[in-house]
Structure 1
Amino acid sequence: MQYIKYTISNTVAHWVRAIFIPKTVIKTINKLCAKFLFFGDTNDKHLHLISWDNTCKPRCFGGLGIQSIMAMQFAFNCCIIERFYNTRSPLIDFLLSRYYSPWKDKGSQYSKFWKNICKTAIIVRNKFKFNPKSKSKASIIWDHWCLGDSILNKFPDFQLINYCKDNDKLEDWIQNDYWCIPEYINGDIREHISSIPLDNIQNNFVVWDGKKMAYFREDYLEFFSNLEEVDWHCLIWHKNHSPRYSIYT
């Protein structure tokens, strides 16, 4: 158990941060880990009675707390989305110039790495909140900076996409901490946008669930947000628990 948690999982965590791991590879790693945990032999062909997905759930959800590779990828994608707007680096500048937004319609030419991030972005959309302000790299068309919605969804009748380019950023419409909306934009839309307060206090352009910064653990647990917490986990994983008996139970 210790070997899987602190050697195998930590090794895979480094891979997750560097490459996109195919599902077939994830399946193979999980299969080997399950055999090793339950039988101590990766060549054993016996069936085990507990699925590996259930084994990898956090303890509060009834699992053993082994890190799930899928959940780690999910959490890393959340970190990339946050860095996409709040930090500048060669990687982020490349992604920004090539893809514009993780909420932009996926194209067939997109890499598997970016498609995976877009898939995560759709799931956690409501967790990310935009703070319109100067120098914001948020996409005018695709990002939901318009009071929790994208401007295309807010005004579906107005063909904004005919007037704006994919690479137009929110910073183009904000100057000296004031809205500076182009004249070609419909009057009702301009009035609505002008009513959106500009946040010149918050340092980050995008925040996670109303917080200044999201920790990796919060992103990780969000992967299991559709599960219900079990009420007995504190009886097994208490402060003075014995690993041998807690794991068996």
Structure 2
Amino acid sequence: MSPIVAVCVCSDYFEVDEGGELCLKPGTMGPRLMVTYKEPGTFQFRKTDYPWAARVYVRVQGGGGGSAGANAAANQCTVRPGGAGGGYAESLLNLSALGAVETVVVGPGGTAGTGNNPGGAGGTSSFGGFVVAQGGDGGTAAQGSGTAPDAVQGPAGPFAGSGQWASGGGAGGGGIRLSGTNGLSGAGGESHLGHGGLARASEGPGTAPRGYGGGAGGALSYGAAENGMEGGNGIVIVWVLG
């Protein structure tokens, strides 16, 4: 006769289902899958795609602001501030709190200004109505062409959105003109998941941010037409927990 073997298991993590099989309890397995929405647009998160899930940890980054174009007159200078960085929010949510389908929105980075036009604002990113992060404002085109010393202020960062933890984005950096041949544009605002474009002292277009949600750096013109730069796109990251 075979010996009887008894096995003890921890009831905190295991349970016996209706078929008599020993199973892990839902919600005790931690992160099992990361779902990322990187492209700007609208998507759907369906609970039925993850029948084993118990919770989701959602991270939402708003889009960064674009920077303005600069076109100074010959032998003059125009500097532009940077765009603001997008806001950020996160939440840990029970799957039971979600609807059957939740809408996911990834905010685009703000558009680049051309000529002497401002940059566009970054778009808001969200996961349903639970987690929302606002986009950053675009850089302004307030400074005219000239040679006299002058400073321009960058846009303020967006306010915090909604979530269990939320933060506004970084302000766009200001620019300064010292003369018709010497100036410094503004750096782009920082974001939680990215970095703003750099400030520039040489003539050229706005500078690109890195990562997600950073503001574009400002353009600088000593007489040539220079475009601004697009802000960084947002992103939504969903960790699915078993």
- TM-score, with normalisation over the residues of structure 1? 0.27
**Structure with bigger gyration radius:** 2
Higher relative contact order (CA 8 A, sep 6+): 2
- TM-score, with normalisation over the residues of structure 2? 0.27
Whose strand proportion is higher, 1 or 2? 2
